[in-house]
Amino acid sequence: MIHLNSEVTSLISEGPWIFAGVKNAVKGWNIQTGADVTLDGPKRQVLSLNVGNDILLAGAEDGVIYAWRYSSDPKPESPFELVATLSGHTKPVVCLAIGCYKMLYSGSMDHSIKVWDLDTLQCTMTLNGHTDVVTSLICWED
């Protein structure tokens, strides 16, 4: 049992790592080595997590998606490096989904879905038309 002194609003496992979205950070634990890390950067609560193209992605309450890559030459304090902040949503990012062709889809309280290219980490499209919060996304095949 781990006490984080913060509400956990998202949880994901990837390989030997378990990640939890908390206020102002993502906490990570390697279940093979026992290592633990705190990935700083997010502002306010981290609401969604996903992994795609070897990048850990965190959607936060500040409307930004934070992207960390595992470093093959890790620093002593953390094997993860913040490589990008994806801005474009005007309200909290509450869900993330990975699709084929290395695409990331983000749903937000701003009633939109944004489509991001995971190679360039750039927004390629915004889907408007929802009348309320986009709370979940799923991608399959094409």
Residue 60: predicted pLDDT? 98
Encoded tokens for 50: 């996903």
- In-domain check, residue 136: no
CA distances from residue 51 to 1, 5, 6, 14, 107 in whole angstroms, order as listed = 24, 25, 22, 7, 16
- In-domain check, residue 1: no
- In-domain check, residue 138: no
- In-domain check, residue 135: no
Enumerate residue ranges in the chain where pLDDT < 50: none
Torsion, Cα 79 83 88 91, to 10 degrees, reads 20
Residue 71: predicted pLDDT? 80
Rounded Cα distance, 52 and 132, in Å: 27
Encoded tokens for 25: 């950070």
Give the range of the structural domain holding residue 116, as residue numbers without chain letter. Answer: 10-127
Instruction: Enter the pTM of the model.
Output: 0.93
Residue 142: predicted pLDDT? 64
- In-domain check, residue 119: yes
**AA identity, residue 46:** V
| Range list of β-strands (E), 16-133 | 17-30, 36-52, 55-60, 65-70, 80-86, 93-99, 103-108, 113-117, 122-127
- In-domain check, residue 88: yes
- In-domain check, residue 3: no
CA distances from residue 25 to 1, 40, 113, 119, 134 in whole angstroms, order as listed = 19, 5, 23, 24, 23
Number of Cβ within 10 Å of residue 102's Cβ equals 13
Rounded Cα distance, 58 and 86, in Å: 10
- In-domain check, residue 57: yes
Residue tagged 């934070």 (tokens)? 66
Is the dihedral angle over the CA atoms 85, 71, 30, 98 positive or is it negative?
positive
Q: What is the CATH number of the domain that holds 92?
A: 2.130.10.10
Q: How many structural domains comprise the chain?
A: 1
